[in-house]
């Protein structure tokens, strides 16, 4: 069962539009479908389809508030994947590489601005 759950999470995260929705819910939870659709260039039906996949992967949950359906991020499945698939690759080294990458990119941006 654990493998099936991970497969659903990886499938959900594989799509850029779904990651964008998760980013928006991370920035501000409790958004309606209309709020999530604004500025995305996607139809309500497309956003609804993506939300269903995210809900099926347990990445999004919702609750009713009057007539509105409010959507929230559930970070637990992402954390579980991080613990299983990332931490075992020595977080310290990965943090060091990420810091080096960010520094090099910042230097590159500074060189371009000159």
pLDDT (tens digit, 9 = 90+) per residue, 56-113? 999 999 999 999 999 999 999 999 888 888 777 766 777 888 899 999 999 888 888 8
Assign domain 2-113 one CATH number from 1.10.10.10, 3.40.50.2300, 3.40.50.11540, 3.20.20.30. 1.10.10.10
Query: Using CA atoms, how far apart are residues 86 and 83, in angstroms rounded to an integer?
Result: 6
Q: Is the pLDDT of residue 11 over 90?
A: yes
Q: Domain coordinates of the chain in residue numbers? A: 2-113
List the beta bridge partners of residue 68: 65
Listed in order, strand segments (DSSP E) in the chain are 60-65, 68-73
């Amino acid at each position: 069962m654990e493998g099936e759950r991970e497969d659903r999470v990886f499938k959900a995260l594989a799509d850029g539009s779904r990651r964008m929705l998760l980013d928006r819910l991370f920035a501000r939870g409790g958004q309606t479908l209309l709020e999530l659709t604004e500025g995305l260039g996607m139809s309500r039906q497309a956003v609804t389809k993506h939300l269903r996949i995210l809900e099926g992967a347990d990445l999004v949950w919702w609750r009713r508030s009057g007539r509105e359906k409010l959507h929230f991020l559930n970070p637990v499945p992402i954390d579980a994947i991080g613990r299983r698939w990332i931490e075992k690759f020595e977080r310290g080294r990965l943090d060091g590489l990420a810091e080096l990458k960010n520094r090099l990119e910042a230097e590159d941006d500074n060189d371009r601005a000159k």
